[in-house]
Chain A
Amino acid sequence: MSGTTPTGEQEPAGAAAPVVDPRLLVRERGMAGYVEEFRRKIRGGELGAIPVVVGLIIIAVVFQSLTGTFLTPGNLSNITVYIAGPGLMAVGIVLVLLLGEIDLSVGSMAGLSAAIWAVLSVGQGVNDLLAIVLAIAAGAVVGTIHGFFFAKIGVPAFVVTLAGFLGWSGLQIWIMGSEGTINIPRDSLVRDFNNFYFSDIAAAYGLALVITLGYAAALWTGERRRAAAKLPNRQMVDLAVRIGLVAVAAFTVAYVLNQHRGLPLALVIFLAVLIAADFMVRRTSYGRQIFAVGGNAEAARRAGINVVRVRLTVFTIASSLAALGGLFWAAQAGGASKSLGSGNLLMNVIAAAVIGGTSLFGGRGWIWSALLGTLVIQSITTGLNLLGMASEIQYMITGAVLLIAVVVDSVSRRTQRTAGRT
């Protein structure tokens, strides 16, 4: 905190820094600079994850004071299991939203995937793991069909996936045939998606440690390379704060999970998909291409990007993730049924992506909104369940939360435009 020297003239003269545009608001050295930059971002509408995190805290406080049991390890642990299914589907939706499109078929796809797995594994006696793989592959095929009609033929994605929404749920009912529901057998891996916990406390703490160290290593090497290339880099304080926040969050979650049954398998898979998707979006050419197509498809095309391929594959990934999420959803429901994946699942998943901070208008967002948004939706649902509220009330409240999130998105877009940002 002692680094705040108000006299700017003490910059070393021999630094030979390139002349900086005087209009640019350069970050001052020291903590004051960070505070100033933070204020500017808030004023400019770059709220980042702040509204969601604040919202989560409010939700937690309100439900804790109303029920007294919301913040118990058991309840929190259950939430981390429940978010896996919709969360995986939301990751796919985030990718589609980044393109500036929408996929309305993820709910039907989830139900279809569960039906395919159940009929193959339970009905036909196919190997359990093979049936899971086939169900996810079915998702890939469905997504490729959507992508083909949207990207190649040029039908609006809204219409293609609306057709899929109806068509795939029809196929789901047809596949289920005379069976109303198929329960998950005891020894199935799908049951583990809901029920398996790594009960050794070392598992949760170990994962927290790996995540913290991995994050710290990635951040540290990145900044070291920037410093070596003489590019502007973050200060040690900044790095320490970031790593500290991640560490606190990871170890708090690990501690709470260990108070209950340990580390759920569902959370591990969800986190793995989140980290992989985040890496793909931010660190690979393909991810960059998704943002480019979502920002300005014609510019992307002229830059030599194969727009059709990007669009098609994103829909393939989205439906594959919906298929995977559907198996988790079935695990929670205890089995596949004719109506699995209908109801408000689709809306909850899309709402989660938007609440988490991914724009409906394309080209803006991040993968972690799938986690944050699903947490908000699931916390509200769980809290209302604890209060014994009827589902109609839950629908209304979730609808209101979605509306608030979209309003925040639209308003922050407007503020950002006046502040010259997208």
Chain B
Amino acid sequence: MTTAPLLALRGVSKRFGAVQALSDIDLEIHAGRVTALVGDNGAGKSTLVKTIAGVYTADAGTIEWKGRAHRIARPQDSQDLGIATVYQDLALCDNLDVVANLYLGRETRSLGVLDEVAMEARCRELLDSLSIRIPSVRIPVASLSGGQRQVVAIARALIGEPEVVVLDEPTAALGVEQTAQVLDLVELLRRRGLAVVLISHNMADVRAVADEVAVLRLGRNNGIFPVAETSHEEIVAAITGAADNAVTRRSARTLTKDGAAPSTDAAADDDRNRTTEAGEETA
């Protein structure tokens, strides 16, 4: 990879009370590439996404945008940089129609008055360009199906012409056909040169569209793998920590003597981390 990363996280940490949700996370996002972010429940994926999106602020570490460190304290800061986030819960207003949701927080105005016609025209254009089919752009979002809501949420992320799109489990609640549609959309975004961060539990989806897979385990980096050269098992092993057994430990020890291998000190802290993780659930 020769290009400089569009977005880079350097040593990002986030604490919730006694729970260290993220510790020392490094991540680089490149334009025109799909980076999958995987990990078990409670690995810190959603926390990381919300840190990038400005819903949470990082306690430590820096977020670099095009090589310059930026402070992201509010969702607005992240949007202003050019990062669009599609949250797991979609964050749509059910009572508003599709156009209003797409333009929420950045309405088109002429002379201080909402320009509904311009917004609706642009909205239809965008949905058509993404081959998104919804019954009407003037019905409340509540009356759309799960898949339609998901694509509306993704379309909303694209209204602001972002450079990075973060998708938090976009396929988790979808059927086969809708999942395929969302994955098509991800590929379309990559073709347009956008950087995509895709969070998913579904390894098949990840392997289908991602260029590289970043694994989080218990709030820490647990390896970044190029999808093409990594087997399914290796990624799963990194997610579950199955890589951490007697054999790998011995090989790690020999490697560490050479001073080359990444440390796998996670196992020793495993029990402590598990208890704190349980605390996170109740917190």
Contact = CB atoms under 8 A, between A and B. Distances in A.
Nearest to B112: A284
Interface string B68-90: 00000011100100000101001
A19 B131 CA distance: 11
Contacts of B140: 421-422
A229 B95 contact: no
B134 A21 contact: yes
A398 to B, nearest CB: 29
Interface string A293-316: 011101111111100000000000
A364 B114 contact: no
A422 B114 contact: no
Interface in B158-175: none
Contact of A292 (B93, B124, B133): B93
A227 to B, nearest CB: 10
B106 interface: yes
Contacts of A393: none
A231 B117 contact: yes
Contact of A420 (B55, B90, B143): B143
Please tell me the size bucket of the interface on A.
35 or more
A291 B109 CA distance: 17
Secondary structure at chain A's binding surface: helix, strand, loop or mixed? Answer: loop
A23 to B, nearest CB: 7
B120 interface: yes
B96 to A, nearest CB: 6
Interface in A355-386: 363-364
Contacts of B55: 302
B248 interface: no
A24 B93 contact: no
A255 to B, nearest CB: 33
A296 B75 contact: no
B100 A226 contact: no
Contacts of B104: 288, 292, 299-300, 303, 305
Q: Which of A23, A222, A294, A420 counts the most B-chain CB atoms under 10 A from its CB?
A: A420
Contacts of B90: 299
Interface string B90-122: 111111100010001111010011101110110
A304 B121 contact: no
Nearest to A306: B76
Nearest to B144: A420
A23 B139 CA distance: 14
Residue from A222, A304, A420 whose CB has the most chain B CB atoms within 10 Å:
A304
A43 interface: no
B255 interface: no
Given A21-B135, A305-B104, A364-B95, A229 B109 contact: no
A202 B212 CA distance: 76
Contacts of A284: 112-114
Contact of A231 (B85, B121, B135): B121
A305 B79 CA distance: 12
B142 interface: yes
A422 B92 CA distance: 13
Nearest to B141: A422
A212 B55 CA distance: 47
B151 interface: no
B136 interface: yes
B75 A304 contact: yes
B22 to A, nearest CB: 19
Contact of A18 (B91, B93, B128): B128
A298 B55 CA distance: 10
B142 A296 contact: no
B173 to A, nearest CB: 17
A226 B120 CA distance: 9
Contacts of A291: 93, 95-96, 100
Contacts of B94: 295-296, 363, 422
Contacts of B95: 291, 294-296, 363-364, 422
B218 interface: no
B53 interface: yes
A422 to B, nearest CB: 4
12 contacts: A226-B120, A229-B120, A283-B114, A284-B112, A285-B114, A288-B107, A292-B93, A292-B104, A300-B105, A303-B75, A303-B91, A363-B94
Interface of B: 53, 55, 74-76, 79, 85, 87, 90-96, 100, 104-107, 109, 112-114, 116-118, 120-121, 124, 128, 133-136, 139-140, 142-143
User: Which 5 residue pairs of A and B lie closest in terms of their CB atoms, listed nearest first?
Assistant: A303-B105, A295-B95, A420-B143, A24-B135, A363-B95
Given A21-B134, A420-B142, A422-B143, 16 more contacts: A18-B128, A21-B135, A222-B116, A229-B120, A231-B117, A231-B120, A284-B112, A292-B100, A299-B91, A299-B93, A299-B104, A301-B75, A302-B91, A303-B105, A304-B106, A363-B94
